[in-house]
Structure 1
Amino acid sequence: MTTEGVNKTAGEVMHEGAECIGEHDSLRTAAEMMRDMNVGALPICGDDDRLKGIITDRDIVIKCVAEGKDLDQTTASELARGLVWVDAGASVEEALAKMEEHQIKRMPVIDNHRIVGMISEADLAKELPDSKLAEFVHRLYAHG
């Protein structure tokens, strides 16, 4: 593997066009969107079209289903967590450092105050040379 990926930006390696769940939408709607898009996390956007947080499939199961809450009455904003994001112009290493610091595997990418995509640890890891990849994996899972 080359070191070219280290010079890339978050915007160059992200999945473009992240679809948001609205902050007032139900968790059932979120789950259906995740199913239809085959994703495990959705950014939550407010009425002002700004990022409010992120919700994962695990959040829905642990914080709603397992707690006996109603999927149709509980809104995405009630489970919103981790307003952690990365600028589209940030380097791959900056994005990795932020994911490690917050122990997250997926993160919204923001450009000009708007969400433009989502980035995962896998997106970033494939851009790293083997030595950096091994270091990243060790740090990420050492906290497990």
Structure 2
Amino acid sequence: MMHQGAECIGEHESLRRATQMMRDLSVGALPICGDDDRLKGIITDRDIVVKCCAEGKDLDQATAGELARGLVWVDGSSSVEEALEKMEQHQIKRLPVIENHRIVGMISEADLAKELPDNKLAEFVHRVYASA
């Protein structure tokens, strides 16, 4: 169900670079990978707006690693139910997929909308957005 081939932004790369990658890839979130090519967190377009732009920080000076948050992920062998449960438990809309300690994809709301039956999608949306 995941979108394969997620591209990482390096933890030392600027937030301006993150915004350019998001634009070019047509995504709203990027996994952040360290120098060791391991997942360090995830950054969203909203994170950049709220935690950088609104705070008056410089997009060219602030790094993705500074905003790294939420080291929540799912193993590539996990079931759809396990992924949904993790997303609901952590109230997240995007979930990195890891195999052999490397990111191999992301599960997003768009992926869920394509793959889940309407009743299961409605249940997921209710659980994730209910406390938002």
- What residue number does 1:113 align with? 101
Letter in 2 for 1:120: S
TM-score by length of 1: 0.87
CA RMSD of aligned residues (A): 1.2
State the Cα distance separating 1:121 from its structure 2 match.
Answer: 2.6
Q: Which runs of 5+ in 1 are unaligned?
A: 1-12
1:40 and 2:28 aligned: yes
Query: Is contact 2:29–2:42 with CA below 8 Å preserved after alignment?
Result: yes
- What residue number does 1:8 align with? none
State the Cα distance separating 1:123 from its structure 2 match.
Answer: 1.4
* Structure with the greater alpha carbon radius of gyration: 1
User: Could you list the per-position Cα deviations for residues 26-49 of structure 1 after superposition, in whole angstroms to 9, with x for gaps in the alignment?
Assistant: 000000100111100000000000
Aligned residues: 132
What does 1:71-86 align with in structure 2 at a 5 Å threshold?
Answer: 71-86=59-74
Moved over 4 A (4+): none
| More RCO (CA 8 Å, sep 6+) | 1
- What residue number does 2:83 align with? 95
State the Cα distance separating 1:57 from its structure 2 match.
Answer: 0.5
Task: State the identity as a percent.
Answer: 83
- What residue number does 1:49 align with? 37
User: Could you list the per-position Cα deviations for residues 78-101 of structure 1 after superposition, in whole angstroms to 9, with x for gaps in the alignment?
Assistant: 000000011111111110110111
- Between stretches 124-133 and 105-114, larger displacement belongs to 124-133
- What residue number does 2:127 align with? 139
User: Could you list the per-position Cα deviations for residues 43-96 of structure 1 after superposition, in whole angstroms to 9, with x for gaps in the alignment?
Assistant: 000000000000000000000010000111101000000000111111111101
Identify which of 66, 83, 88 aligns with 2:54.
66
- Taking the aligned partners of 1:40 and 1:77, their CA distance within structure 2 comes to 17
